[in-house]
Every structure is written in structure tokens, then in C-alpha cells.
Amino acid sequence: MTVSYASGPSDHPLLYQTIGDAFDEVARRHGDREAIVALHQGERLTFRQLSAKVNAFASGLLQLGLEPGDRIGIWSPNRLEWVIAQIASAKAGLILVNINPAYRAEELEYCLNKVECSALVLASDFRGHDYLATMNELGFSPHADTPGNVCVGRVPSLEWLIVMADAPPHGYLAFSDIAAMATTESDAVLAALVHRLQPEDPINIQFTCGTTGIPKGAILSHHNILNNAFFSGRRMQLTPVDRLCIPVLLYHCFGMVLGVLTCVTHGACMVLPGEAFDAGQVLAAIERERCTALHGVPTMFIAQLAHPDFARHDLSSLRTGIMSGAPCPVEVMTRVVEAMHMREITIGYGMTEVSPLSFQTLPADSLAHRVATVGRVHDHVEAKIVGPDGRTVPVGEPGEILFRGYSVMSGYWGDEDLSAEVLGGGGWIRSGDLATMDQDGYVRVTGRAKDIIIRGGEKIFPGEIEALLRTHPDIDEAHIFGVPHPHYGEEVCVWLRTGNARLTASDVQDHCRGRIAYFKIPAIVHFVSDFPMTSTGKIQKSAMRQAVMARNTALGREMP
């Protein structure tokens, strides 16, 4: 019997470097090549120029009195300063704490306090959200004698506030002030850290939400994210002549690891089209900068393909990239490959806790493999699929997917019990995702374990029904989830988007009859124009479920 286990062979050893070492190396080898273009800021820098800014900022942070191991938060949309702060904090041995730019006061307060941040680098605003007003909500109070040195009543550990602004408000340090604070002494301390910092040192805390909805801080090291960036880039066959368009948010692993660090480890150029995703900006950036690679979740690619000016843009320079975050319908993938010229696009899968990718397709994989699977296991990573009893299941049988290898986080900050729950014996980490593995090691992800619907004792997997509904010519997108039912326990509900206003719930149900068991046919059908999503473009089924339940409660109905 062949079991669902795979280990990723490789013809390249793991990198044993810090992020600072890797960045210094690329700056030496490719100093005159363009490293980053921030189109919305009118900025473009070579690796040599970026290196100078990174070193000055890192030295300035040390001059503030910050020490290796201290936590420094960053709360900002995509900007050049984000990239500088990311690399500089790593060179200084500081642990960068990524804060979702959409967070409000209570969420920000929780994250900063959870890890006891000593400093915060922040934008002044984003999409109408006044960040400085939020700091006032948290009890911001500057010390009279030292700009940037503050007291924030609801975040006692926070001592320094650094704002991305040319003219900072009273009590804040400007981002540019930090580099100006560097001295020969702080430069010497920075240089000495090259021999002190180790690849295993924690360097990043990524907040991710689980079933409780409470953010958990995954602790990632230089070794974790630098290698994941390198091997992800190898699967894209990235080289120094490539130019990667990065519209995904940098605060997430997709942006800062698979975007920034992948470019650093392969000497490629980063192109930031805007502060956050905008389909028009992305299309214009690809054409203007002759980008060869593009990252995004499926909804981003769908938005670009649907943009009214899509046909007017020359995208012929595109070759590769990573699509991740959700399954991609075959019709969309076909158009991405043909209309966007991305014949070598790869599909990636993983989670924040594994730095983030554990599976990825290769450019030579068939269209079918890129639509139906997430590829094969990454270099130097192990994966297995287990049943409810924890035993590895035979090939083709469903179960929960587990990972082991260099990419696994060390744990959740300040949550030993939760870390022990996720990090099982033998170094394996649970994903919470259901999947099957075929004889060749290709993995098909079928959904979240927590998304399984149990109707009258029958287990229902949403992915199976979603795949069937996508075969209907008038259904553009469909998402299945369970809602409470007084008799069956749960009932099947679908939210779907269609281009045919005449499509009815009965039409949808008729499409399912005879193709799947009666109990899997959606009893509740909602037609919508869009779906609730996270800031990284992932569908929020929990929000859909709550909306359906609230609507029925308001109408005085039992479910369904």
C-alpha cells in the first residue's frame, strides 16, 4: 500500500545565512541593477542605493537604543519605507512585527501588547483611516524633550513612534530622521552584528487568525523565510533579469517573503504598483516596467481580466508568478495563461506558520495540474495526509495535511498551549486543511477541516459542491458553507455570483441533482455581487454564515 507521504528532493542545499548576509551579497553582486520601483511614490533604487538606505536606517534604529531581540512593529500599506524597514530590522537583529494596515485601535492595541513592541513604524493614513488619530485613541503622549520618544497609555512597552511623513506631527520621528541619527558608533555596532546574529534567530512575527478569530503571532526565523523565498523563486525560475510586480500586501508572507525576499535571493527587481491592490494600477505597472512576473490571489487576476482597459495594456513581457490563496477556476487560469501571457505561472499553497509555501507547481506542469492541484511538496519539506486517528492514509484518501521541515515556525508568541496543539510530535505541524495526494505526489486541497458540514450525520465537503457549481455556464463563483438547522444540525448554503440575472435557486439545485447526493444539494441559495474577503483576498465564509444567520433571525425564521 502506498501512503500519502512525500519529501521534497532538491539539487540545492538550504541557505545558511541571515537576511542581512543575503542582502549584502546581492548588493555586492548586482549593485548597479534596479532593486525596487515604487511607482506611486516616484521612487526607484538600485541594489547599491537600497543598501545604503537600509544600512543607515538599521544603524539609526540601534542608535535609538533598540537591541537585538526587541520587537519593532510596522503598520503601513505597501511603500518603499516598508521594504527598507523590513531588511534594516533584520540586519539590526530586531524582530519585525507585521500589523495589518486595515487594523483599528483595539486590534492594533492587542498585537502591540501581545509581543511588547518597543517601537512602531507607521504610515500617517491609509484609505481614509487616520493612523495618528488611532494612536491618540490609545493614549499617545510625547515626551517633551525627545521627539519620537513617547508614552502610549494602552501600550506600556511602546517607546518610539516613527512616521512615514516628511513633516512629522509633534512627538513623532520622521522615517528619514532615523537614518540621520546614525553615528560611527552605531555603524560599528551594526557591523559587529554580522558575526553575532544567527540564521535560527527569530526575525519576524506574523499575526494570523485561527478558528477563535483571535490573532496569533507566528514566530519565524531568518532560516525559515529566507529559504522559503529562495526555493519559491527557483520554482518560478527567477533570475536577475526578472521584474516582479507585487500588488499583494507586504504585511503578509505573500508580499514580504514571496515578494521582497524572493527578489533579494535571486537579484530580481521589485515593482510596487500602489499602496494596495488596484487592477488598473497593476496593469499599468506591468506595461510600463515590463514586468516578467506577477503575484496575486485569484480574485486579483479576475479583477484585472475584467478591467475595462485590460485589452489596451501590453502584458507580453509577463512570464511567471505565483497565484495562491484560493482555488482558481479553469476558465480564469486559461485566460491568465493566454491573455496575460503567463504561461509559466505557478500555483502555491501553504500557511503563515510554514513561511508560507509548502507546495508549488512547476512551470512545466500541465494546466490541469495548476487548476486541480497545488503541485508537489517544496524542496527540503515533508508532507503527509492523516486520518482522524492520526495515521497516514493511503494515496487518494482524504485527510488533514501535515508538514515538517526547515520552514516550520518555532511557535506562537506567548501561547505555549496553542503552539503545542498545532505543533505535534516528531516536528509535524497541523494545517487544518483537508486534502488528497495522488501517486505522483500532487496534492488536491479540498477545504478546511473546520468547514466540513455535518448534515444529519453525513459529512459534506464544500470543495466538491463548489467544483460542481463552477461547471454551470452561468455561475462565475460559488462558495459553500453550513448554517445551523433545528433538525439536521446543519444545512448546506451557497453564495454565488452569476452573469445571468434570470438564474434561479431552482436552476442551481437542478444542476446538482443526479450529480451529487441529495443531502449535498444547497438548500439555501443566495445571489450576490461580491463576497466578504480578508485584506489578503481570502474568502471569509464565517462572515457569510453570520450574515445568513442574522438575516433569518431578523425575519424571525428558524434555520433554514
- What are residue 22's phi and psi, to 5 degrees? -65, -40
Q: What's the rounded Cα separation, in Å, for the pair 13 and 94?
A: 27
Cβ atoms within 10 Å, residue 239 = 11
Examine the pLDDT at 450 and tell me if it is beyond 90: no
Percent of the chain exceeding pLDDT 90 equals: 80
Average pLDDT of the residues in 95-112: 93
pLDDT in tens, 308-362: 999 999 999 999 999 998 778 888 899 999 999 999 999 999 999 999 999 999 9
pLDDT in tens, 284-303: 999 999 999 999 988 899 89
Q: What's the rounded Cα separation, in Å, for the pair 77 and 249?
A: 7
Contacts of 114 (CB under 8 A, 6+ apart): 215, 217, 413, 414
The confidence score (pLDDT) of residue 211 equals 38
Q: What's the rounded Cα separation, in Å, for the pair 256 and 248?
A: 9
Average pLDDT of the residues in 212-230: 90
Contact of 486 with 552, CB cutoff 8 Å: no
322, β-bridge pairs: 295, 346
Torsional sign, CA 88, 90, 92, 96: positive
121, β-bridge pairs: 74, 162
The confidence score (pLDDT) of residue 210 equals 47
Q: What's the rounded Cα separation, in Å, for the pair 539 and 69?
A: 35
DSSP structural state of residue 258: I
Examine the pLDDT at 538 and tell me if it is beyond 90: no
Contact of 7 with 392, CB cutoff 8 Å: no
Q: SS3 letters for 472-504?
A: CCCEEEEEEEEEEECCCEEEEEEEEEECCCCCC
The confidence score (pLDDT) of residue 145 equals 79
Percent of the chain exceeding pLDDT 70 equals: 97
269, β-bridge pairs: 243
> Vertex 471, ends 466 and 475: CA angle to 5°?
75
pLDDT in tens, 169-212: 999 999 999 999 999 999 999 999 999 999 999 999 999 864 34
pTM for this model (two decimals): 0.87
Kindly report each contact of residues 42-50 with a partner whose C-beta sits within 8 Å and lies 24 or more positions away, as own/partner: 43/80, 45/80, 47/267, 50/83, 50/84, 50/87
Burial 104-141, CB ≥16 within 10 A → b, else e:
eeeebbebbbbbebbbbbbbeebeeeebbebbeebebe
Structural domains in the chain, sorted by start: 5-12+223-410+425-448 (3.40.50.12780), 19-26+48-198 (3.40.50.980), 452-554 (3.30.300.30)
Cβ atoms within 10 Å, residue 503 = 17
Torsional sign, CA 436, 460, 456, 559: positive
Examine the pLDDT at 481 and tell me if it is beyond 70: yes
Examine the pLDDT at 487 and tell me if it is beyond 80: no
Examine the pLDDT at 550 and tell me if it is beyond 90: no
